[in-house]
Structure 1
Amino acid sequence: MPAGRKDPFMSFVRPFKPIEHFLLDYYVTVVVPFLRCQEDISIYQDSMTKRWVPFALREGGLLDAVFLLACRHMYLSHHNSQQQQQFVQLACQYKLSCTKSLRDAISNEVVFSDATVGTTLMLAYDELVASDISMYKNHIKAAVRMVNLNGGPQTLGLDGFMEHLISNLCAKHKLYDQT
């Protein structure tokens, strides 16, 4: 394709930086299996790759949350201080971007979008990976509150997968029933 044309098959919310192609691949191949809850791994991975990831690619805050989780996992799994520092810096950038996106959405939305709820869930996962259980619980409670203000779990999209994620995250630390 000529340099001036856009790829018609690129349906991402924004163009990727070179590192982001790697981070997306890492998220799908390493982080997704790591994050699974109590369900069958094949069902979970199928839902994540066929529903969640394509959804995240179209939503700015959620995409940044995916990159945040990949960076967080890379930081924790690398023992090379130069690589760790690179992923810490990237994680901070993505967390700030994700938090700003979430703050803007919360202040502008009357009905919380699936992307807003999903971004909140991804921030909860990030806190869980970072071992900040208090913030993890706050994010889950916020996501549950958004869902309840929207009319309940039946209002969530992705063929019930988001409802499933919230349910698993609530059960993981025996928070409370989201209904």
Structure 2
Amino acid sequence: MQFIITNDPTKRAAKGEIFRVHVHAARVTHARARQIQMRNYQAQKKVAVLSEDKETNAGKEPMPDPINALSEHRRDPFNILSKRLSPIEQYLFDHYITVVLPYVKAHGRRVTHEARSDLPFMDTPWVRLAVVDADMMQALLFTSCRHLAGELDPCRNTNSLLANYMQMGAEYKLSCVRSVRQSISKNMITDAMLTLILVLALDEIRLQDYATAQKHVSGFAKAVELFGGPKAINLRAMLGLIMESLRACQCQVLIAQTTAAME
């Protein structure tokens, strides 16, 4: 609130009053000029920051927000999947269906160590199995994490995303290992369990940990025996695909063990 001193226009104002009026007018004018100057400075600063951000982010591939990237019809609207997926898991599942699976189909079933050995053989039949089996869904999400982590460029400030995908992948992998152990302890040998073992073996091959991969293949052979032998299940598709990966890595010991499991 401001108080303005006024005088009777018929009377002559005192010198002191005129001085106070002039001081007040100068103060108001200076304050207004200062406000305009601050507004201009803040506007210029904002433009400079936006320009700097634009230059910094130039050339970066935008990573979609898993929470908002998917439309409703891509988020299991009828709740038919084997497990209820969180928003990030919905994104991982969609990534497998829309990116990983088309890549596998486009490049055939051949998998080499140098080119996408982190992509297991989980094509359409395995996706169908993941829809009805929660353990297979864990394997699918694990594979999607591996693929996303492999696609990130460390030179583009994606270290936090890489760490997140690696952490989630490790958790899904441990979940797969626990599921296999529980199935073996209960003597419950299923197609899903056998597939999990192969997924784990392929991941160790990708990491060049052939000793651990050999243990997985040995466990796979024993599980096949418990299941009733190779004739009791359709091993041709499963083992044929893992054999291609083993040959690409020149793992002679694993090739021999896998071949023995097929006989």
Amino acid at match of 1:67: L
Q: Which residue matches 2:218?
A: 141
Distance 1:149 1:170, change over 3 A: farther
Distance 1:141 1:167, change over 3 A: farther
What are the within-5 Å matches in structure 2 for residues 5-44 of structure 1?
Answer: 9-32=78-101, 33=104, 36-37=109-110
Task: Please state whether the residue corresponding to 2:217 is helix, strand or coil.
Answer: helix
Q: Distance in 2 between matches of 1:125 and 1:10?
A: 30
Q: Which residue matches 1:86?
A: 164
Q: Which residue matches 1:129?
A: 206
- Pair 1:118-2:202 in alignment: no
- Pair 1:166-2:239 in alignment: yes
Structure number with greater CO (CA < 8 Å, separation at least 6) is 1
Amino acid at match of 2:217: I
- Pair 1:63-2:137 in alignment: yes
Q: Distance in 2 between matches of 1:29 and 1:35?
A: 16
Distance 1:169 1:93, change over 3 A: same
Following superposition, the deviation at residue 11 of structure 1 comes to: 2.5
Task: Please state whether the residue corresponding to 1:101 is helix, strand or coil.
Answer: helix
Distance 1:132 1:77, change over 3 A: farther
Unaligned stretches of 5+ in structure 2? 1-75, 112-121
Q: Distance in 1 between matches of 2:208 and 2:147?
A: 12
Q: Is the 8 A contact 1:68 1:90 kept in 2?
A: yes
Q: Is the 8 A contact 1:153 1:163 kept in 2?
A: no
Q: Distance in 1 between matches of 2:174 and 2:208?
A: 19
Q: Is the 8 A contact 1:72 1:126 kept in 2?
A: no
Q: Which residue matches 2:228?
A: 151
Deviations 1:24-44 (A, max 9, x none): 232234444179337xxxxxx
Q: Is the 8 A contact 1:98 1:119 kept in 2?
A: yes
Q: Is the 8 A contact 2:109 2:241 kept in 1?
A: no
Q: Distance in 2 between matches of 1:17 and 1:76?
A: 22
Bigger Rg, structure 1 or 2:
2
Q: Distance in 1 between matches of 2:139 and 2:88?
A: 15
Deviations 1:51-90 (A, max 9, x none): 2111022222221111111112222221210110110110
Unaligned stretches of 5+ in structure 1? 1-6, 39-46
Task: Please state whether the residue corresponding to 2:123 is helix, strand or coil.
Answer: helix
Task: Please state whether the residue corresponding to 1:169 is helix, strand or coil.
Answer: helix
Following superposition, the deviation at residue 9 of structure 1 comes to: 4.0
Q: Which residue matches 1:3?
A: none
Q: Distance in 2 between matches of 1:35 and 1:133?
A: 24
Paired residues, what number? 159
Identity of aligned pairs, percent?
28
